[in-house]
Every structure is written in C-alpha cells, then in structure tokens.
Amino acid sequence: MSLEAGKVELKKPTGNLRVWIMVILFLAYMFAFFDRSNVSVLIADGGFTDALGITADKSAQGLLLTAFLLFYGLTCFFIGPVVERFGTRRALAYGLLSWAILMAVLGSTSMMAIFLVCRALLGIGESVLGPSAAKLIKTWFPVHERAKANGAWFIGLMFSQVAAVPLISWWVTLTGWRGSFYILALLGIIPVVITFMFVYDHPAKHPKIAKEELEYITAGTSAEQQNTTKAVVSFEFLKNSSFWLIVTMYCASNAGFWGLTGWLPTYLKATLGFTWAQMGGWGAVPALCGVAAVMGFAPVMDRLNRRAAFVLLSFLGFIAALYVTIVTTSSIVAVVAICFAYSFISVSTVAIWTMLQNLVQSNQVASATGVLNGTAYVFAAFVPYIIGVLYNATSSLSAGFYFLIALMAMSIVAAYPLCKQHL
C-alpha cells in the first residue's frame, strides 16, 4: 500500500498528548532493555558465571540470551490478538509489572535451570511491548510522524544500551550481581505506574485531549480508514508479499543487533582487553552513535517516504563496518567500526517498523507486529548461541561476526524490491 498521505500538509494542532505517548514508549523500551541487557553484561563477570557454574562454557552463556529471545519470539506470534482484545493500556501495564517481579526472582537464585525458566518467562512478558507500541503509534500518529515516533522508542532502547553497561557494571561493583537484579526490580515499578496514568488505547478516549489535536490525528490517518470502534482482528497481511519481504529484512536486522549486543561486553573485555571501567565507558559509545543516527535520519526518512532504500544502504554499511572490526589490529579502530555498525543497524530497525505500520491497516497492526517480531526473534534467538558455539570452536568472536555478515548479505535482496514503494 503506497501512502502518499505521508506528504499531506496538515495544520499543526493545539495539544501534545501524542508526545507523551512517545515519552512513555521511550521509558518502556528503556526499562525493557535494561532487563534484557543485564545478563549480557553479567556473563562477562566471573562471580556471576561461577555462581551458575558456566564460566568455562561459552555456549551455556549464550543459552541465557537465547532463552529470552526464543520465548519472546514464539509468544509474539500469539500476543497480537491478545493486545487487540484487552487493549494496549492493560496489556502494556501488566506486562511491565511481570518484568519487575521476574527481576526480583532472578536476583534470589543461583540455579541455572531457574535462570533459564525466568529468562523464558521474561521473554513471554516482554512480548506485549512490540504490538502495543505499534498499535499506539498507528493510532496516535499521522503517517508523516511515524518514523519520528518509532525513533522515540528505539532511542529508549539504545539509551538503555548507553546506560546499561556502565550502570550495571557500577551496581555489580557496589552490590554484587544479585544487587543489580534487585535494583532493576525496584526501577521497573516506575513505568507500570506511568502507563496506568497516561496511556489510552485511542486518542478519542483520552479525557484531556484537545479537540484540535484529535482532529489533526484523525486527518493524518484518514487514508487508512481508522476509527474509534473496536475492529475485528484481521490477518489479511499474511497474503501480502511486501509483508514477508519486511519480515525477512527484520530477521537480518534483529540478528545483527542481538549478535552485537549480546556479545559486545565480552568482546570489549576478553578480545580487546578492556578493564571493567573501560568497558563501562566504551560500551556506551556504540549505542550513543545509534541514537545519533536515528535522530538524524528518522526525519529524513519521513520526508522522503522511501524507507526501504535506507534499509538497503544500512545493511551494506553494517557489512563494511563489521568487516573492518574483524580485520583491524587497532582497538580504537575496532570500537569506531562497531559504532558505525550500531548506527547502520539502528537506522534499519526504525525504517522497517515504520514500513510495517504504513503497510497494514489499523485492525491488523498489532497482529502483524506480533508475526514480524515472532519470526525475527525466533530467528535471532539462535544467533547468540551459534556465536557462542563458534567462539568455543575458534576461541575468537571473528567467526561469529563473519556469520552475521553472511546473514546480512543474503537479506539485501529483500530490501531491493521495496525501494520504489512509498513505505
């Protein structure tokens, strides 16, 4: 579906409640990825791996990452209709509450089996986030503002990457690895309260929305036949070949993101030889570059309304940057190249989500996002484990990085057919 509506000039409204939706999504993703990132940092800590008995087994360490990703992905296939049925307000708030509870449980155990179960349950609990965010953006934002809106939650994700490594490293130093989980449990209550206070399923249901802002939102989404009534859940998007091309792109993008994110602390500490303090500082830089790239390119993507081209160029850039990381002998060059890789993969993620929201109808977007997330995360779930296996076999992360390059190269063919469409 080509959306020339993205180019319609609309009068700026009075009111900014949709900005608050962006703020809430920013916070939800920030806390979600703090919870996800904690284990990525801790597997570089000998005290944590000794407690679980997995210090010498890199594949078991990768399995902690895979458990979350696999169950997150599997649940995504089914969670879209649940979000449609119960609404984004309740689905998001209760999902957030489950994350906080699981953080407390993880801090109280040293059993690998319980860790794997809790990581799987965390994946199930966090599966509501993607469909809820997509539904809110589809409902609250005109077409020409959606890349910026998606950029807001993605910046929350990346901000957590900026803050997670230094903060969690600091928490581990002060309170031990258990303390880091307890801190996250306490912080996780904040977005639960804010969601119940400010999130509404549709702008028309918000008691404080200005008439002008509601008219602005409605005018900007009228081409998609959006309304305030509950629509019947539809799976028509499954018949659309463009949807499956978008899914293919997101599989590669997600694999690249989690392949880097999951093993970045280990790469900085074990491969480049950084201390905990250095890792905390340098570990934040790639995510900062991702934030800067999204802030810079999201408005451009909205203006040009051809986001598939950005995906294609981003994939090519990621391949080049990761190759430099592998072949360089300089630690500084390696970190700079990783920064570029993060920047490219960040831009591709925002572009892909915006393309999906512009492609499908409002009564399909939560379910479509579930299928997108489910397929991509099930696919990506095995990537950290595969990289761990390759690490065991070669005593290096280079083979794992070549694996990511091969995945990205094969997925470029999915982006090319969509480059001429206004998505």
Sign for the CA dihedral angle at 83, 84, 86, 90 comes to positive
pLDDT in tens, 109-126: 888 888 889 999 998 999
| Contact between residue 192 and residue 96 where contact means Cβ atoms under 8 Å apart | yes
Q: CA 215: distance to chain centroid?
A: 31
Kindly list the structural domains of the chain, giving each domain's residue range(s) and its CATH number in brackets, ordered by start: 17-418 (1.20.1250.20)
* Helix or strand (DSSP H, E) at 60: helix 58-86
Q: How far apart are CA 131 and CA 95, in angstroms?
A: 12
What Å distances lie between residue 382 and 114, 379, 388, CA to CA? 20, 6, 10
Residue 3 has pLDDT above 70, yes or no: no
Q: pLDDT band for position 186 (50/70/90)?
A: very high
pLDDT in tens, 75-121: 888 888 888 888 888 999 999 999 999 999 998 888 888 888 999 99
First to last CA, the chain: 8
The answer, as to whether pTM is greater than 0.75, is: no
| Contact between residue 139 and residue 202 where contact means Cβ atoms under 8 Å apart | yes
Q: How far apart are CA 184 and CA 116, in angstroms?
A: 18
- Environment class of 16 (CB within 10 Å of its CB; exposed 0-12, middle 13-18, buried 19+): exposed
Q: How far apart are CA 397 and CA 403, in angstroms?
A: 10
* Helix or strand (DSSP H, E) at 159: helix 146-187
Among 34-38, 66-70, 185-189, 288-292, the range with the most confident prediction by mean pLDDT is: 185-189
Backbone phi, psi, residue 279, to 5°: -60, -40
Return the structure tokens found at 288.
């900062």
DSSP 3-state assignment of 328? coil
Identify residue 78 by its one-letter amino acid code.
Answer: F
How high does pLDDT run on average in the chain? Answer: 82
pLDDT in tens, 111-166: 888 888 999 999 899 988 888 888 888 888 887 788 888 888 888 877 887 787 77
| Core vs surface per residue 335-344: b (16+ CB within 10 A) or e | bbbbbbbbbb
**Of 107, 293, 279, 255, which is closest to residue 188 (Cα–Cα)?**
107
| Contact between residue 178 and residue 104 where contact means Cβ atoms under 8 Å apart | no
Mean pLDDT (whole number) for 38-42 = 81
Q: Which residue reads 């284990």 in tokens?
A: 39
Backbone phi, psi, residue 170, to 5°: -65, -45
DSSP 3-state assignment of 208? coil
Mean pLDDT (whole number) for 283-304 = 82
